[in-house]
Structure 1
């Protein structure tokens, strides 16, 4: 079964094509084809890159075309030219989409119909950088592939098991009844990494207390017990929790009241400050990319050093709160761009957990470990670096739903 997966963001559209045989394998196979559209900052140009399992590559820049035209071109590389991997687009059996926010109504993967599309659209104001992009991808598939089955897999779904004490904010209860609560995000990644951790360790997932650290441009933690999410750092929106690339994470809500009252900030200005001008970017003044912040720090940039220090402090504090929810810890997992590629962040996070008996092997930590345990043999907590496979997890759910 050939499954096309779309993972949409505000400035990019990642796609891949899997050919899945039954039974569905646990480990992610190499995609037949991977395609990506990056839109430039002014949105006028689309940088298209494609690679295939056979090693074929393509790079193109399209200008002044609609996103629908750009996406149709990307799909055409599946059947034309050096990157051809199938004879006809009709060979694709189903298309899966990562949808960031599913609200209270969508906790499992669903086949997309008009009701689902309307629900995704209704939640756009809660995930403005992602839900609109997912809708655009759904419509692009309708335009390019017609009536093919499409499936939405929701990032919020894994966190639907949060107990009320963790999910409900201490606000007037009528607001809770209006759907204002902690939803949590990165759920596809957190769930995949928990399952993969159990596989790597050869243990039953139900027996493990796991903290998964999804650290990328967006960052979140999850506390996982009996295979279920029982706490997480992101909240009503993906803005809550840890310090991120350009997002503030948790701050005193009184700051917002102050800015509104004293400086007449508009809602749009607040949104821009908190989502696009804060985090590593806002503190360092250098970049939202941790690699560039580290380079500036190493050259003596004091604001970059401060950005690092705040990032580490908040990461440690977040792990501590997840630890309290679990009442112990068996496995600590690092994943996503920073988690997988920054030995310094892993080291800094783990240094504060020595009181648990957690010890990491400095040599293993430095050598870009993927899907391995970097803890020492005598560590009381296993520490894993896992390559997150969101696209593969989406493909698995699509296959399961189609078979059902």
Structure 2
């Protein structure tokens, strides 16, 4: 079976195509700046590598361009990433008009993501109307979190009437990395894992026996760790204070906390960890503070999840920063010595995220790994399994 995976953003389209019989990726690529000036595509396959500007006014143009690389009759199904599934979607589903409508209704909980995901779904359905389209939800892996961990201490009617609770995100990535960790380490009886998905968006998840029991992101992807432009955890009273003293609107505060906070807010200039690391090493005090704050927040969560899990078998780094920044990994782990967690500094320094690798020392009580995430393959695998069930 050949499965196309689609991750549709507001002005971008990330795609890959898999031959599932031999787990082979046939091609992958990214269309950027859809509907903006200078749209372009990066496409890689065994046959060709393309980087060029294209005419692309909308997502239908992007899908049409991408599909020119393939024989449409060979594509058996399309897997779509959908960020927020709410309480309604506990697992992946075949998309029909009712599912589409419910995804749209959930846009209130993910206004930056679900509408963009829907644009990609509708464009693909128009171009490929005769094959199944499957929605894969970022939130579904976290549906195993117990109520005492997902509920907020807010009026009960807010939860009952509006479904306000912790949902968590990066679930597809965490699920893939968890399965690889269990396989690599041969974990059987005790499977207590902390997954650090660190990129421009960042989260930490506690996993027991392959199931999420807690995660740092909440109702939205704004909660939790300090991110590139997102604040992470703050006192809700701060929002009220800004509304009262500065007369800021809800939309203004939303914009500030989502796009002007986090590492960018601390440094006033940088949101990319690579730039921050360079400037910190050159003595920039704001960059140094940003790293200290980000590391401290992560270490606090690790300590809390160590207790929640009743111990720890593995810590796993994934995502762009987690996979590639040995400096940031070392900054985090060097504060975990009291938990008996130690790095092999040579292995950590040479690990660049290209390969799966154990980077903890022989003396470490907990294994530390770097595992490149592969959300696209996980999406294709989930689609394959769902269609196999549906065909019975």
Partner of 2:38: 45
Residue among 357, 364, 383 paired with 1:398: 383
The worse-fitting range, judged by mean Cα deviation, of 103-112 and 372-381 is 372-381
User: Contact between 1:285 and 1:304, CA under 8 Å: does it hold in 2?
Assistant: no
1:268 CA displacement: 1.3
Find the aligned partners of 2:183 and 2:16 in 1 and give their Cα distance: 24
Find the aligned partners of 2:219 and 2:52 in 1 and give their Cα distance: 38
SS of 1:32's equivalent in the other structure is strand
Find the aligned partners of 2:84 and 2:138 in 1 and give their Cα distance: 6
Question: How many residue pairs were aligned?
Answer: 386
User: Contact between 1:361 and 1:375, CA under 8 Å: does it hold in 2?
Assistant: yes
Partner of 1:84: none
Residue among 250, 259, 263 paired with 1:280: 263
Find the aligned partners of 2:260 and 2:108 in 1 and give their Cα distance: 19
1:117 aligns with 2:100: yes
Partner of 2:12: 12
Residue among 171, 174, 198 paired with 1:190: 174
1:115 CA displacement: 1.2
User: Contact between 1:156 and 1:184, CA under 8 Å: does it hold in 2?
Assistant: yes
Residue among 262, 281, 284 paired with 1:301: 284
User: Contact between 1:214 and 1:334, CA under 8 Å: does it hold in 2?
Assistant: yes
1:32 aligns with 2:17: no
Find the aligned partners of 2:265 and 2:259 in 1 and give their Cα distance: 8
Partner of 1:213: 196
1:299 CA displacement: 2.1
The worse-fitting range, judged by mean Cα deviation, of 171-180 and 1-10 is 1-10
Find the aligned partners of 2:56 and 2:338 in 1 and give their Cα distance: 57
SS of 1:211's equivalent in the other structure is strand
1:57 aligns with 2:49: yes
1:68 aligns with 2:65: no
Find the aligned partners of 1:375 and 1:102 in 2 and give their Cα distance: 36
TM-score normalised per structure 2: 0.95
Find the aligned partners of 1:291 and 1:5 in 2 and give their Cα distance: 29
User: Contact between 1:90 and 1:145, CA under 8 Å: does it hold in 2?
Assistant: no
1:77 aligns with 2:69: yes
Partner of 2:309: 326
Partner of 2:343: 360
1:92 CA displacement: 0.3
Find the aligned partners of 2:373 and 2:196 in 1 and give their Cα distance: 11
Find the aligned partners of 2:36 and 2:299 in 1 and give their Cα distance: 37
1:53 CA displacement: 2.9
The worse-fitting range, judged by mean Cα deviation, of 365-374 and 191-200 is 365-374
SS of 2:25's equivalent in the other structure is coil
Q: Deviations over 1:267-295 (max 9, x none)?
A: 11111101000011111122211111112
Find the aligned partners of 1:38 and 1:310 in 2 and give their Cα distance: 32
SS of 1:270's equivalent in the other structure is helix
Q: Deviations over 1:104-145 (max 9, x none)?
A: 010111000111111111111222222111101101111211
1:189 CA displacement: 0.9
Find the aligned partners of 1:99 and 1:303 in 2 and give their Cα distance: 36
1:64 CA displacement: 6.1
* Structure 1 stretches of at least 4 aligned residues deviating more than 3 Å after TM superposition: none
User: Contact between 2:90 and 2:143, CA under 8 Å: does it hold in 1?
Assistant: yes
User: Contact between 1:286 and 1:304, CA under 8 Å: does it hold in 2?
Assistant: no
Partner of 2:318: 335
- Structure 2 matches for 1:150-165, cutoff 5 A? 150-165=133-148
Closer, same or farther in 2 for the Cα pair 1:126/1:207, shift >3 Å?
same
1:30 CA displacement: 4.4
The worse-fitting range, judged by mean Cα deviation, of 364-373 and 265-274 is 364-373
5+ residue gaps in structure 1? 79-87
User: Contact between 2:59 and 2:120, CA under 8 Å: does it hold in 1?
Assistant: no
User: Contact between 1:33 and 1:52, CA under 8 Å: does it hold in 2?
Assistant: yes
Partner of 2:373: 388
